[in-house]
Amino acid sequence: MPDPRPLVIAHRGASGYLPEHTLAAYELAARQGADYLEPDVVATRDGVLVARHENEISGTTDIADRPRFADRRTTKVVDGREVTGWFTEDLTLEELRTLRARERLPHLRGTDRDGEHPVATLAEIVDLRGRLSAELGREIGLYIETKHPTYFAGLGLALEEPLLAELDRAGLEGPGAPVFLQCFELTNLRRMRHRLGSGLRQVFLASAPDRVPYDLVVAGTPTSYRELLGDEGMARLAGDVDGVGPAREMVVPRTPEGALGRPTRLVERAHRAGLVVHPWTLRAENHFLPPALHGPGGESAHGDLAAEATAYLEAGVDGFFTDHPDLGVSARDRWAAAGS
């Protein structure tokens, strides 16, 4: 069943206000009116799924300040890229739970809430969604991204089975469930749908047009996002997914003068193939907005996120990711009221 209006998807919770991927950030997002809460999931050494943007956690937790974990610092190759730091797959859940979350963008959002919140598990987020749906009297959805699934599978820590099992536990199964599963790796989505039999809605994430998804590089079929999201590519994707999640500039590019330009044909092509479009990520800080929408103040000051959101809604998107759900909901509702 299609969603009746464009969705506001809380990107890692209300991450513009609280440290991302914490239960507090997800709860605030729901109370601000977000339709969906978006956790990224990675695995611990003992195979528990937890919410972190990356498996390397030195930028989002206080692990670097914990002497007991000093010897866990290491360098790994993750999706073809060398990364140094501390990794969730080297910690048990019990060890990870001793850490506290930190703001990932302290130069823009401050650090006054650092040290307050533990790392959340997927199970906790699923349960929080259920409680808040009942309390607020509306169905709140989950929009879950599997991070680096090829890498984790190579460690014997496949993400797909525990993810689907956790959702099944909560009765969240089938295309009518308030759930989207998303990934930058197409093979991950194909596996969940065709090999594991998941009926949940799925979204293929895309970044810069000329980039190639990592899993397709590994498979030896280097197809760019530009080709995958063309007319023929969209038609093929429709057999594997229900939508696409492009980087926002792939929908509404910026002009050389720093304004929002004319929309591309991406939404048109997706809709012709029966796919929804949910671009990422709208943020209120001047740092992330096109210069024409900057507000007074520096990089961390807020500009006109509502104008940016309205441009995407006018381009026909079916929802958008945002770090500031309250501003996104307000912009969406004003746009909907103006068109009614």
11 is catalytic: yes
Q: Say what the pLDDT of residue 4 is.
A: 75
Per-residue pLDDT at 3: 60
- Of 21, 53, 148, 294, the active-site residue reads 53
Selecting among 11, 148, 278, 294, the annotated active-site residue is: 11
Task: Annotate 257-290 with DSSP letters as a single string.
Answer: TSSB----SHHHHHHHTT-EE--B-B--BTTTS-
Q: Which domains does the chain have, with CATH numbers?
A: 7-55+120-339 (3.20.20.190)
Pairing of strands 243-246, 179-183: unpaired
- Longest Cα–Cα distance of the chain, Å, equals 60
Q: How far apart are the first and last CA of the chain?
A: 22
What is the pLDDT at residue 53?
A: 96
pLDDT value of position 340: 62
CB burial of 276-305 (b: ≥16 within 10 Å; e: otherwise) equals bbbbbbbbbbbebbbeebbeeeeeeebbbb
pLDDT value for 178 = 98
Give pTM, 2 decimals: 0.97
Amino acid residing at 30: A
Known active-site residue 107: no
Residues in Cβ contact with 131 at an 8 Å cutoff, skipping those fewer than 6 apart = none
* Structure confidence at residue 215 (pLDDT): 94
Measure the CA–CA gap between 260 and 286, rounded to whole angstroms. Answer: 14
Cα–Cα nearest to 142, from 173, 97, 184: 173
Residues of the chain under the 70 pLDDT cut: 1-3, 340
